[in-house]
Amino acid sequence: AQSVTQLGSHVSVSEGALVLLRCNYSSSVPPYLFWYVQYPNQGLQLLLKYTSAATLVKGINGFEAEFKKSETSFHLTKPSAHMSDAAEYFCAVTEGDTGRRALTFGSGTRLQVQP
Amino acid sequence: GAGVSQSPSNKVTEKGKDVELRCDPISGHTALYWYRQSLGQGLEFLIYFQGNSAPDKSGLPSDRFSAERTGGSVSTLTIQRTQQEDSAVYLCASSPTNPYEQYFGPGTRLTVT
């Protein structure tokens, strides 16, 4: 069984400040991990993915995440927030290429960027 | 190229009626997924298709829910005898042979009155 915990349902940062969105996972098999972003009234857009290659992965819009097996974490960061980053962010896990393909999502973190 | 498309974008139906939701995946994508997003339950997996077969139906919440995929392409999610708790946004995603990247459509917002 898999699960994802996102700490903080709402995060507020100032424009230009560091963005840190937390994600911890639980998986009985080596996981694949994803971050998705959802803008209002839109579907989910893939930001980045970890699939057992490099532990530091870079995605679109300047975001990156680091897979830390010892901490079972996959936190999302961006050095400098833009107003356009305001959205809801979801962390998700699957069981890799030999296991269950369905995504298990966290409950989401709404990012607010203050001018 | 064209992304995943879903229709209708919004559907309002009366309790007890049947509804059909359609998903057109990205051309050539072999895998197709249905998810549901609601305020109370967040994002939940419903069913996964590989080609026309559904090896994972574990997320379907009741026997009122069914889905099919024809020609390895279009999929239809059917909800029979809709209930108010079925109100949600139904999201479809597809992925290529590489199964790691799922691309989502804009969703169908279903409201059961």
B59, A102 contact by CB (below 8 A): yes
pLDDT in tens, A3-49: 999 999 999 999 999 999 999 999 888 889 999 999 988 889 999 99
Please state, in angstroms and as integers, the Cα–Cα distance from residue A94 to each residue in A81, A97, B87, following that order: 28, 9, 26
Nearest CA in chain B to A94: B100
* Percentage above 70 pLDDT, chain B: 97
| Shortest Cα–Cα distance, A44 to chain B (Å) | 6
pLDDT at residue A96 tops 80: no
**What pLDDT score does B1 carry?**
61
**What pLDDT score does B60 carry?**
96
Under an 8 A CB cutoff, do A101 and B99 touch? yes
**What pLDDT score does B96 carry?**
86
Closest CA to A62 of A44, A48, A45: A48
- Among candidates A92, A97, A104 on the partner chain, residue whose Cβ is nearest the Cβ of B99: A97
A40 has a chain B CB within 8 A of its CB: no
Using alpha carbons only, give the angle A75, A34, B74 rounded to the nearest 5 degrees.
Answer: 160
pLDDT in tens, B4-17: 999 999 999 999 99
**What pLDDT score does A59 carry?**
95
Positive or negative, the CA dihedral B76, B82, B83, B89 is positive
Nearest CA in chain A to B6: A43
Positive or negative, the CA dihedral B94, B100, B101, B106 is positive
pLDDT at residue B99 tops 70: no
| Shortest Cα–Cα distance, A70 to chain B (Å) | 23
Contacts of B53 (CB under 8 A, 6+ apart): none
**Averaged pLDDT, A56-80:** 96
**What pLDDT score does A17 carry?**
98
pLDDT at residue A110 tops 80: yes
Under an 8 A CB cutoff, do B100 and A49 touch? yes
pLDDT in tens, B36-91: 999 888 999 999 999 889 889 999 999 999 999 988 899 999 999 999 999 999 99
pLDDT at residue A54 tops 70: yes
